[in-house]
Amino acid sequence: MKFIVSSSQLQKGLLAISGVVPSSSTMPIIQNFLFTVNGDELVAVATDLETTISANIPLSKVEGEGSFAIPHKLIMDILKNLPELPLLFEIDQDNWGIKISASDGEYNLVGYDGDEFPKYPVIEGAMSITFKAEILKKAISKTIFAVGNDEMRPSMSGVYLELTDESTTFVATDAHKLVRFRRMDLTSEVNTSFIIPKKPLLQVKNNLPEDDTDIVINYNQSNIHFNLGNVNVVARLIEGRYPNYSAVIPTNNPNVLTVDRMSLLLAIKRVSIFANASTMQIRLKLSPALIAISAEDLEYSNYAHETLPCSYEGEEMEIGFNARFILEMLSNIESTDVRIDMSQSNRPGIIFPIEEEANEQEDILMLVMPVMLKNA
């Protein structure tokens, strides 16, 4: 079997799928790419058994067909040190020897029989929904940072996707922070929900086109498939019941803070430098026209304090938050101003973007749990 492929196109295709190749495994074959020559295309596949990604790469001057596995690290190291030029692959299907010829160079390595590689997952009895690439990328970006990583709570280690005949909702939480991204203009004839792992969602986000391409998502009770054009991502869904996220969102929040998002973000960044490194606790003291932000580390006698102009309606109060969580949320909002709704110092704060031109079809809510203040 022989074929010629552009080094840059091959590298681009392999970079798109290499994120799931495990660095070590009890099944060494999955530390390889599966290459399948099919007509004038090379289909490259990578898997960690939970997530499988494929990329279609154009070929020229193809002789023969078939599949073989090629070591991930070797081929990636070769490609990143090559300029753009045509590469001739020659595969001996008797011993799986691979010869790569490139202008003045020749590289020989040993591959494996493609039949040893895990079979590509097939989703049977699939339902489907279509997203615009831009909306899907936004939904993933706005939620994925809030996904938990507690192995004891596997259902919280992914993004919860809820499809109804009224809306589509993405939710992520780690029990300290929660994000809900909802689109009213995306609906499903069948009401359903499932949990998508973080890893494949990152791969989807990284490979989404920049335009308004339609992205078709096929799913059943155990797997999900994202068709991104030349790249396809198939993942096993997380089993289990997602927490009742609606129950933790307080509905009566009479204390409302409105403030410039970037001013608040930068002030918290500066003040939090002086916070205790383990708790990252900051204190917000709220009054009608001013917000006071402070942090201290008693162990090192460090203290910082800043004030910001704001609009605040409600009772004067002090509330503590983990600075990291607040910064993550403010960094994932684009609006000039934000609104933070609160009820009491021991109840969550809810952050909303204040859009200059409100999109009635989109709703973003970010919730952050408070931390207990001493001497509050």
Strand boundaries in 274-343, DSSP class E: 281-287, 290-297, 302-309, 311-313, 317-322, 337-342
For residue 98, what are the CA distances in angstroms to 74, 77, 194? 12, 15, 42
Q: Could you tell me the CATH superfamily of domain 2-116?
A: DNA Polymerase III, subunit A, domain 2 (3.10.150.10)
Which DSSP string do the residues of 5-26 spell out, in sequence order?
EEHHHHHHHHHHHGGG--SS-S
Sequence-distant (≥ 6) Cβ neighbours of residue 359 within 8 angstroms: none
C-alpha span between 376 and 371 (Å, rounded): 11
Asked if 108 contacts 98 with a C-beta cutoff of 8 angstroms, the reply is yes
CA dihedral 322, 240, 246, 184 (to 10 degrees): 110
Average pLDDT for 351-374: 89
User: What CATH code would you report for 249-368?
Assistant: 3.10.150.10
Q: Which amino acid is at 59?
A: L
Which one is predicted more confidently, 189 or 374? Answer: 189
3-state secondary structure of 196: strand
Residue-wise pLDDT for 258-279, tens only, equals: 999 999 999 999 999 999 999 9
Report how far Cα 278 is from the mean position of its chain's Cα atoms: 26
Which 3-state string (H, E, C) describes 299-311?
A: CCCEEEEEEEECE
pLDDT value of residue 103 = 87
Asked if 213 contacts 132 with a C-beta cutoff of 8 angstroms, the reply is yes
First-to-last C-alpha distance (Å) of the chain: 74
CATH entry 1.10.4030.10 includes domain 127-247 = no
What would the two tokens of residue 329 be?
Answer: 């949320």
Residue-wise pLDDT for 127-148, tens only, equals: 999 999 999 999 999 999 999 9
pLDDT value of residue 376 = 46
- Please, which pLDDT band fits residue 375 given cuts at 50, 70 and 90? low
Average pLDDT for 179-201: 95
Quote the percentage of the chain above a pLDDT of 90: 92
Q: Which amino acid is at 270?
A: R
The rounded mean pLDDT for the chain is 95
pLDDT value of residue 210 = 86
- Please, which pLDDT band fits residue 151 given cuts at 50, 70 and 90? confident
Domain with CATH 3.10.150.10 in the chain: 2-116, 127-247, 249-368
